[in-house]
Amino acid sequence: MASHFPFITDAQFELLLRNGRMALAYQAQGQDFDPRPVVKLFTPDAGATWLLTEIEPQAQIAFGLCDLGMGYPELGHVSLAGLSVVRGMMNLPIEQDLHFRATQALSAYAREARLAGRIQA
């Protein structure tokens, strides 16, 4: 399936979908699923950052670590369609951090972000 979002490549979209299917399988077995983030998104003219790990296969809803720049990063779901219309103070769209390479599981990034009050990836 192709990505309809300029901030996620087709390959990343496929991996996010695969992770979404795996998350459902783990959940059905009562197990935790804690993959590495697939993509890091940010607002170039505001303080928001997202580390996404998966997309729900039946929806355009992603899961990951969300930081709106207010000091309270949290794990949660976010609409990809909603992200596509987000703009910062200079009306710039969300971008992907092309240099980001996940080195740890999402839970480790979340733990660090909560302690620091922001995503530090």
Range of the domain at 100: 10-116
Please give the model's pTM, rounded to 2 decimal places.
Answer: 0.93
Q: What is the pLDDT of residue 57?
A: 80
In a domain, 121, yes or no: no
Q: What is the pLDDT of residue 88?
A: 84
Q: Give the number of domains in the chain.
A: 1
In a domain, 111, yes or no: yes
Buried b / exposed e along 26-49 (16+ C-beta atoms within 10 A): eeeeeeebebebbbbbbbeebebb
Distances (CA, A) of 13 to 46, 55, 88, 97, 110: 24, 8, 24, 15, 22
Residue 117: left if φ>0, alpha if ψ -120 to 50, beta else—which one? left
Q: What is the pLDDT of residue 14?
A: 95
Q: What is the pLDDT of residue 78?
A: 96
Q: What is the pLDDT of residue 1?
A: 63
Q: What is the pLDDT of residue 67?
A: 96
In a domain, 5, yes or no: no
- The whole-number mean pLDDT for each consecutive block of 10 residues of the chain, a chain of 121 residues, reads 84 96 96 97 94 90 95 95 90 94 98 95 85
In a domain, 15, yes or no: yes
| Helix (H), strand (E), coil (C) string for 51-92 | EEEEECCCCCEEEEEEECCCCCCEEEEEEHHHHHHCECCCCC
Strand partners, 49: 42, 67
State the residue for tokens 């609409």: 79
